[in-house]
Structure 1
Amino acid sequence: MLKFLSRPAVRLVERYLPDPYIFVLLLTLVAAAAAIGVERQTPLAVLRYWGDGFWDLLTFSMQMLLVLVTGFMLASSPPVKRQLATLATKAGTPARAIVLVTLVSLAASWINWGFGLVVGALFAKELAKQIRVDYRLLIASAYSGFIVWHGGLAGSIPLVIATEGHFAADRIGVISTTETIFSWFNLAIVLVLFVVVPLVNRLMLPDENESVYVDADKLDEGPPRRLRASRPAEHLENSVTLAWLVGIPGLLFLLDHFLLRGGGLNLNVVNFSFLFLAIVLHRTPRHLLDSLYEAVKGGAGIVIQFPFYAGIMAIMVQSGLAETLSKGFVSIATADTLPFWSFISAGVVNLFVPSGGGQWAVQAPVMLPAAEALGASVPRIAMAVAWGDAWTNLLQPFWALPVLAIAGLKAKDIMGFCLIQLFVTGAIISLGLTFL
């Protein structure tokens, strides 16, 4: 049945889903029109919201670009490539390849979302070199594991409310991760998704005559260049000693961060880890630079699109449109159904504000008073917003950009399969939030 349903979904998306750049332009126009029509904002006010907020995600944009670049450099180092190749041999068949890449992506995304995006995509490419399997579904499976990130160790919303002095601390206090990330209902949702998401991807595997394959030779970057040094500068470029004199202190800093200072994972730490591991494992600056030049080819979408999403976010927040959307769902909720409507509203808002922390800043002032008034569980409502933020990433191509850049595909190639996962996972998460 899932294979049958995935066919029209894939055809529909391939025909009508535009390039992510076109998608963000359309979202910009929709957000601006809604702010004017619904919130009665003047065109000049909306124009100012958009322009003033356009560069608010510059730091995040650079972090995302580094997720792609440093992750690619690490995975393209000879030792990591050998390990990925060895793990890929465990698959053996197309069906096992789909299940294995989904499980790897789920596990990596639960640890850290940036880690999961890069590892899943790179492992999928390695599998495609060894097994003849539908490349679209393989990459979609790698991306589908991203669904669990906000219920995992790097979930921004549960980590925010577990931090002393967060912006809503006066209202709800500090909520431990034992009530959110490590709560029974959240762990149960994660566990079910670890079973169902790989199974759904496996059941969507197209027949031989409908599959789209990739030439494995085109995925192989080949061995590192070995150039004979003839100038002093070239000796430096091929110096293992120089690379390790910088790379090893970077790794020592990470040991200090985790072991002596008890630090945790965040996006900067992940990028730092990827970069310095890549420096050490590539052995020479020249090999690292060759990998870097290959990696940056896929970063154009991130560079040009993220400022537009910052502008959309500013329109949604400053005009009051995001708050209106949230209030609309809350107004029809009861204490029992508020988690469900919080989840749905967060999913809708996420299409326009694809940022977990930013979305919580928008929705918390609406959801928290509603939870108190209705007597609903605040930790559960917070996790409902978190899961809603993660859920519609299966439809929103914003987060797929690093995966697509690594894989060499377009959003329309994978989003048909992700659309099926959107409905399946939406049902699982909403049931878990409501009844567990």
Structure 2
Amino acid sequence: MLRQLTRVCVRYAERYIPDPYLYAVLLTFITVVAALIWTPSDPVKILTAWYNGLWTILAFALQMALVLTTGVALAKAPIVKRMLEKLAGLPSQQAGAAIVVFLTSAIGSWLNWGFGLVIGAIVAREIAKRLRDVDFAFLVAAAYMGFMTWASGLSSSIALVSATHGSALNIIEKQTGKVAGFNTTIFTYYNLVPVVLLVIIIPLALYFMAPGARDRKRVDPDMLIAEDKAEQEEAETESTFAALLENSWIVTLLLVAMGVAYETHLIAVGKFALDLDNFIFLALMLGLIFHWRPIRYVRAFNSGAKTVGPILLQFPLYGGIMGIMTNTGLAAVMAQSFVDFSTQRTLPFWSFISSNIISLFVPSGGGHWAVQGPFMVPAALKLHADPAMTAMGTAMGEQTANMVQPFWALPILAIARLGIRDIMGYCVIALVIGLVVYGGSLLVFA
């Protein structure tokens, strides 16, 4: 029955889900209409908010591009690639392959969302090169499903800012005078139990929803192998000064030594934090040292840069949507509408539900919290609900809504060279599971 339901979802996704760029354009139009209807903003104010939003997200867009590119370059390092190939060699059938991909992505995303996004897609590619009788889109969808753990993990934007003293987005501290440490957000029963359940339930679902032999959309393994070989072609080695410099490990060692010295200083003064900038920096340093020779890292980085195009195209559009949502008060109207009928016990749950809706328009953990947090935290204090749990409800909604919001699928799809309609049908099933597991936990442990 699950396989039949999945087949229906896949068929409708292939027929009706547009390219992610058009999805962003349609969301822009919907946001404009909604702002006209539910806020007092006039067309000029809406257009101004939209235009300004296009450019305020550029710094974040570059960060995302570097997360993807440095992550791909790191994964292509010989030592890392060998580890991934061994991991890809474990499954012998399609269902087992999907489970391995999901678990790899889920664990990686819980540790750091950027790492999880990249590694899941790469393992899927490695498995597809070995097993000819697998549905490649199904494997890539399993990789994206693993992303449902990121906001409950160590790199959760909302949990990190809530635990950071003086952060501009630490709304809990601004309202209560106290930070919400990981012991009140990440390492709690209401957060860890659903993560464990998800890691158990999704593999079971993957086993039963795997496409049958007649429905599988296979990819030519030889094509994937040829693509990787083309990217890894070594340039001719010449006895010139330029060639010697390009292959000089001393250059790499000196640059990495600077990086190690700086990170050591941060640890010594107690300022080390695995935020977005530091993750990019560490991925860069590890990639450099693992590739050893500068020119090898350059080639790997250039290979990863080829996957950035869709992100750079769509980020400004989502910046415009965020600008409208924030500056017209539309996000506030949406959040407040759920607060109005919440109680002490149900506020975290309704924070989760409203987050799922707002995430379709603001698919960014930090940006999302900036528009929803100022309404949820005061409501939690007024109703005597747990502010940290309410904040994590917002975080959980962010990660479940991603299953039908193609924004964060772009890095995975770029690596796999697939379209959103190839995986969305499978992700709808994951969305339903995520809603039940995370939403149920917020009600049970409230």
Q: Do structure 1's residue 139 and structure 2's residue 140 form an aligned pair?
A: yes
Q: Please state whether the residue corresponding to 1:332 is helix, strand or coil.
A: coil
Report the equivalent of 1:358. 367
Report how far residue 122 of structure 1 moved.
1.2
| Counterpart AA for 2:192 | L
Q: CA deviation at 1:262?
A: 6.4
- Does 1:111 pair with 2:123? no
1:275 and 2:276 matched = no
- The match for 1:349 is 358
Is the 2:172–2:388 contact (alpha carbons within 8 Å) kept by the matching residues of 1? no
Alignment partner of 1:396 is 2:400: no
| Conserved 8 A contact 2:135-2:216 | yes
> In the alignment, what sits opposite 1:48?
48
Shift in Å, 1:253: 4.1
Q: Distance in 2 between matches of 1:7 and 1:333?
A: 37
Residue 171 of structure 2 contacts residue 373 of structure 2 at CA under 8 Å; is this kept in 1?
no
Matched, 1:203 2:208: yes
Root-mean-square deviation (CA, aligned residues, Å) is 1.7
Residue range with higher mean Cα deviation, 313-322 or 256-265: 256-265
Residue number in structure 2 paired with 1:322: 331
- The answer for unaligned runs of 5 or more in structure 1 is none
1:175 Cα deviation (Å)? 1.8
**TM-score normalized with structure 2 length:** 0.93
Return the TM-score normalized by structure 1.
Answer: 0.95
- 1:148 corresponds in structure 2 to 149
SS of the residue 2:360 aligns to? helix
For residues 215 and 240 of structure 1, the distance between their equivalents in structure 2, rounded to whole angstroms, comes to: 37
Contact 1:103–1:145 (CA under 8 A) maintained in structure 2: yes
Q: Write the deviation string for residues 323-378 of structure 1: whole angstroms up to 9, x where unpaired.
A: 11111122222222222211110110011111112211211222123223323222
**Contact residue 172 and residue 387 of structure 2 kept, 8 A:** no
Provide the residue aligned with 2:85 in structure 1: 85
CA distance in 1, matches of 2:376, 2:363: 18
CA distance in 1, matches of 2:58, 2:430: 31
Q: Find the aligned partners of 2:406 and 2:207 in 1 and give their Cα distance.
A: 22
**Alpha-carbon shift at residue 230 of structure 1 (Å):** 4.4
Alpha-carbon distance in 2 for matches of 1:163, 1:235: 46
Deviations 1:363-395 (A, max 9, x none): 122212322332322221111111011110111
Output aligned runs, 1:140-289, within 5 Å: 140-165=141-166, 166-172=170-176, 173-220=178-225, 221-222=228-229, 223-251=232-260, 253-254=262-263, 257=266, 261=270, 263-289=272-298
Equivalent residue for 2:300, pick from 291, 315, 334: 291
Is contact 1:330-1:341 (8 Å) kept? Answer: yes
| SS of structure 2 residue aligned to 1:334 | coil
Distance 1:391 1:6 in 2: 18
Shift in Å, 1:257: 4.4
Answering whether residue 378 of structure 2 is matched by residue 377 of structure 1, we say no
Aligned residues of 1:251 and 1:277 also touching (Cα < 8 A): no
Closer, same or farther: CA 259–94 of 1 in aligned 2, 3 Å = farther
Q: Mind listing any 5+ residue stretches in structure 2 that lack a counterpart?
A: none
State the identity %.
Answer: 42
Structure 1 counterpart of 2:162, which letter? I
Equivalenced residue count is 436
Instruction: Give CA-to-partner distance per residue, 1:127-169, whole Å, 9 cap, x none.
Output: 1111232101101111111111111111111222222233442
Distance 1:418-1:70 versus aligned 2 partners, 3 A rule: same
Amino acid at match of 2:333: T
